[in-house]
Structure 1
Amino acid sequence: MKKRSLLALLCLISTVVFGQVQNGSFESWSGSTPNGWTTIDGGISVSSNSSTVKSGSTTARVTVNTTTQSNTDFLQTISVTPGVNYNFSVWVYHTEGHVRARLYVDGYRDYSANATTGQWQQITYSYTPSTSSILVGLRFYDVSGFDGSEVVYVDDFQPTSGGGGGGGGSGCSDTEVTLSLNTDNYGSETSWELKSSSSTVLYSGNGYASNSSYSEDFCLADGSYTFIIYDAYGDGICCSYGSGSYVLSGSSSYASGGDFGSQESTSFTIGSGGGGGGGTGYYAGTSGLGGYTLKTALYDIIKTHTAQGYGALWTFYSSNELDAYYENDGTILDIYSEKPGGSDSYTFTKVSDQCGTYAVEGDCYNREHSFPRSWFGGAIEPMNSDVHHIFPTDGYVNGRRSSYPYGEVGSASYTSSNGSKLGSAVSGLGYSGTVFEPIDEFKGDVARAYFYMATRYQNVIGSWESNSSYSNAVLNGTNNQVFESWMLNMLISWHNSDPVSQKERDRNDAVHSYQGNRNPFVDHPEWVASIWGSGSPFARKASDVVENQVDMKVYYYDNTLHFKGIEPTRIIVLDVSGKVVIDQAVSQETAEIPLVLPQKGIYILQVESDQSPMSQLIMAQ
């Protein structure tokens, strides 16, 4: 009998939980008013537009006619479930660059990059409400140069529902997609997420009753998506304890199954795709690939860039590394001194403030190899001038970072003006030496630069491990996983916690024009999980040997691990960020191991044995 704690046996009868922005696609109008949008202040005028569109056939053309910011709200009230996390996003298109759009989600949140004109950009915010209804929408702010009237286009406010008030039908002018889910005997273990190409969670569901059927409809624009279904116990939804199944379908079948372990992830594209195309265009030939096969296909696509030389980096910086996202002052955007939430302590003027010599912070900016060049053998091309991993940074802070690995600092010996830190690694990281930690705003940026390096140079990176003591600490000597497990887990955590920004998208486009290749993990963040898994160093190994684990089971209940068909030699438990919380050797044969986890939640369990490694999710309740 499959045992469970009392909480795990509760049948929570509920449907999918998500807030719905009414008419977020702006396809439903009553005259010049978009249905569902109840607050349109007098300082703005809104009309339907069909010429500048992100998705569907129409968008909202917002004309800002005032400098009184409190008179520019564009809002509606939506129903939500208290305590449930929602991921909101909206696309905006600036025409002149003298008005900023600010996302409103039960309060004023993040701004758009107003200097980025003539293209669509996305603003996102994740929020857990404490009430059953909240206001969502936008407010518009004039900046220097505003002439009294300026147009901003708005589209695809997510999560969205049909417009209403406009007759029958589904209200979906894009592709209507349906999820059909049948749960097994333990429905409460099942959850799922549907993510965009930028890893924004658009829809999610959990809290299901056992042996029940559910159906949910979504309206998806052309683009790339990833559907992930989870089982908290690690035995899927079929076929050991019931006959659960799922099908995600629209114009075709995008994902289906039921017999999996802890999770199953499927990437798919609707229409012509987006962000460079998942399987078409620049990334032709990648459709349906995963694991290291996908990594090799990406290597073949990006390996032939044209090295411009180390000196040419200055020219690239002066044109493409300017602050159009924070202070918007046109100074050099330095990831080691930029303060996203306030005024920078100092700024660098392009060209004139190039290093040179330095003695303190603020003296000059130079060229920071985020992946230190000593790790690949010195000033060797094309690595030495590959701008995908070389950022403009304060020369002094760059010098303090030296060639130390990136990491999470436990005790800082030096902290820069924006909070970047140098010091001893935090306990539990998996590495005990000196590390350098950038601020949270840019952790995803450097993580994706590392995933790029692992892919672009997979033909040679396996030989770099012995180039220095620090490369030896970070690299594992292979050309597939590339990184030691501690570094891989941390990079995945940074990648997930700091999603791709508009700054990164713009930079990727500029690098493509400059040297002729792209960073695939900026265009398709979901490919990190497709190649390396979602945080466990055994994530791919476990799937590769699943056929050998049919009779190998691990159950967790009553604060105890129970083993069937496996003799563990070591157990490792990681939290969802990838940090090790328990690492315990098993010295004798046993079928049970007491295990008290730090707090309630989902953890990654790794089991080493003489048979084969296992990796699965466990839940502390």
Structure 2
Amino acid sequence: MSSRRRFYARPLFAAAASIVVLTGAASTAPAATPPIDGAASPAAALDDTYYQAALGKTGTALKSSLHTIISDQTKLSYSQVWDALKATDADPANSSNVILLYTGRSQSKSENGGDVGDWNREHVWAKSHGDFGTATGPGTDIHHLRPEDVQVNSIRGNKDFDNGGSAVSGAPGNYTDGDSFEPRDAVKGDVARMILYMAVRYEGDDAFADLEPNDSVNNGSAPKIGRLSVLKQWSQEDPPDSFEQNRNEVIFDQFQHNRNPFIDHPEWVEAIW
């Protein structure tokens, strides 16, 4: 399998800061900057409340604490996911549209369904990896469900993630081969953090399989997804941007009321794995 190292260029919408989606209209603000003059960062505020029980821990102790924290959530039905994605993935430049994960295309929220040219609900942790289907729980967890072009979603299928392959038709910057899929540079870290969220959230204690990343591809129906070493690299090279951060906020505020900790604390990826 070939491997490429490319410059990670962010799409224009990634420069927008957090967008609060309340009534279907999206508003933008100047890009966030590091706190100055002793001002607390959003993550610091969460550390005093949401993440307090996880602070100072590493390895399995950190993973266990985060599992307890993020398992306190509101669960959606699979039909409710449609409307949720229209809010979580709204285009900052056009509130009538959503941004598709792999293609990066801005498409009308109303063009969702199963026909060619529509967008549908992509399970980033492929639902066959653990056989959870669309059951309420991992099958409807919008931290890893994203809008995507029907045909590109089909091409990705249930493949693991890795570098290399041939270009994906209709989705510039994406590559695939017989056992893996490589997303475009601008969302590589997003994909990694979604996968690792699922590995922490679903530990086999809620009637679903214990989901874990590994360093393999072609995992099939096992509750595993790889390649972990590549996912870690992607998370480091493509840190959270304002679109991803806003998505986390909308899920927390409006829908599931839990967070993806690796968006708030990307350093916890290395602390656990």
Give the TM bin, normalised by the shorter chain: 0.7 to 0.9
> CA 1:311 to 1:275, structure 2 compared with 1: closer, same or farther past 3 Å?
farther
Q: 1:390 and 2:145 equivalent?
A: yes
Offset of 1:286 from its aligned partner? 1.6
CA distance in 2, matches of 1:334, 1:110: 12
Q: 1:329 and 2:111 equivalent?
A: no
> CA 1:334 to 1:277, structure 2 compared with 1: closer, same or farther past 3 Å?
same
Unpaired runs of 5+ in structure 2? 1-11, 20-26
Offset of 1:381 from its aligned partner? 2.3
Number of the residue aligned with 1:304 = 72
Q: TM-score w.r.t. structure 1 length?
A: 0.37
Deviations 1:351-387 (A, max 9, x none): 2x111322xxxx1100000001111212322111100
8 Å contact 1:464–1:471 — kept in the other structure? Answer: no
Letter in 2 for 1:509: E
Task: Return the match for 1:519 from 224, 235, 260.
Answer: 260
Number of the residue aligned with 1:285 = 53
Number of the residue aligned with 1:497 = 237
Q: How does 1:435-450 map to 2 (within 5 A)?
A: 435-450=180-195
Number of the residue aligned with 1:349 = 108
Task: Return the match for 2:210 from 462, 468, 478.
Answer: 462
Deviations 1:497-527 (A, max 9, x none): 0000101111001111201211011111111
8 Å contact 1:332–1:350 — kept in the other structure? Answer: yes
CA distance in 1, matches of 2:212, 2:200: 14
Aligned partner of residue 120 in structure 2, secondary structure: strand
Q: How does 1:535-574 map to 2 (within 5 A)?
A: none
Offset of 1:316 from its aligned partner? 1.1
Unpaired runs of 5+ in structure 1? 1-108, 125-154, 157-172, 175-220, 224-272, 339-343, 425-433, 476-482, 533-621
CA distance in 1, matches of 2:212, 2:15: 40
CA distance in 1, matches of 2:163, 2:243: 24
8 Å contact 1:275–1:524 — kept in the other structure? Answer: no
Q: How does 1:398-409 map to 2 (within 5 A)?
A: 398-409=153-164
Aligned partner of residue 161 in structure 2, secondary structure: coil
Aligned partner of residue 54 in structure 2, secondary structure: coil
Letter in 2 for 1:517: N
Aligned partner of residue 332 in structure 1, secondary structure: strand
CA distance in 2, matches of 1:442, 1:528: 16
Letter in 2 for 1:507: R
Task: Return the match for 2:43 from 271, 274, 281.
Answer: 274
Q: Which moved more, 1:304-313 or 1:384-393?
A: 304-313
Q: 1:122 and 2:122 equivalent?
A: no
Deviations 1:158-203 (A, max 9, x none): xxxxxxxxxxxxxxx53xxxxxxxxxxxxxxxxxxxxxxxxxxxxx
Deviations 1:241-296 (A, max 9, x none): xxxxxxxxxxxxxxxxxxxxxxxxxxxxxxxx735523x20112122111110110
CA distance in 1, matches of 2:168, 2:53: 46
Task: Return the match for 2:40 from 222, 225, 230.
Answer: 222
8 Å contact 1:336–1:416 — kept in the other structure? Answer: no
Number of the residue aligned with 2:24 = none
CA distance in 2, matches of 1:504, 1:296: 24
Across the two proteins, how many residue pairs are aligned to each other? 245
Aligned partner of residue 393 in structure 1, secondary structure: strand
> CA 1:123 to 1:333, structure 2 compared with 1: closer, same or farther past 3 Å?
farther
Identity of aligned residues (%): 29
CA distance in 2, matches of 1:114, 1:297: 29
Structure scoring higher RCO (CA < 8 A, sep ≥ 6) equals 2
Give the aligned CA root-mean-square deviation in angstroms: 2.8
CA distance in 2, matches of 1:291, 1:318: 35
> CA 1:291 to 1:449, structure 2 compared with 1: closer, same or farther past 3 Å?
same
8 Å contact 1:276–1:283 — kept in the other structure? Answer: no
Offset of 1:320 from its aligned partner? 2.8
Which structure features the higher share of helix residues? 2
Letter in 1 for 2:265: H
Offset of 1:111 from its aligned partner? 7.5
Letter in 2 for 1:443: K
Letter in 1 for 2:98: I
Letter in 1 for 2:77: G
Number of the residue aligned with 1:261 = none
> CA 1:463 to 1:333, structure 2 compared with 1: closer, same or farther past 3 Å?
closer
Offset of 1:122 from its aligned partner? 2.3
Deviations 1:539-598 (A, max 9, x none): xxxxxxxxxxxxxxxxxxxxxxxxxxxxxxxxxxxxxxxxxxxxxxxxxxxxxxxxxxxx
Number of the residue aligned with 2:172 = 418
CA distance in 1, matches of 2:45, 2:18: 23
Number of the residue aligned with 1:112 = 15
> CA 1:438 to 1:299, structure 2 compared with 1: closer, same or farther past 3 Å?
same
Q: TM-score w.r.t. structure 2 length?
A: 0.80
CA distance in 2, matches of 1:114, 1:529: 26
> CA 1:333 to 1:275, structure 2 compared with 1: closer, same or farther past 3 Å?
farther
Offset of 1:529 from its aligned partner? 1.5
8 Å contact 2:199–2:211 — kept in the other structure? Answer: no
CA distance in 2, matches of 1:464, 1:501: 25
Offset of 1:110 from its aligned partner? 9.8
Deviations 1:376-408 (A, max 9, x none): 212322111100000000011001111111211
Aligned partner of residue 281 in structure 1, secondary structure: coil
Deviations 1:20-70 (A, max 9, x none): xxxxxxxxxxxxxxxxxxxxxxxxxxxxxxxxxxxxxxxxxxxxxxxxxxx
8 Å contact 2:244–2:263 — kept in the other structure? Answer: yes
Which structure features the higher share of strand residues? 1
8 Å contact 2:100–2:148 — kept in the other structure? Answer: yes
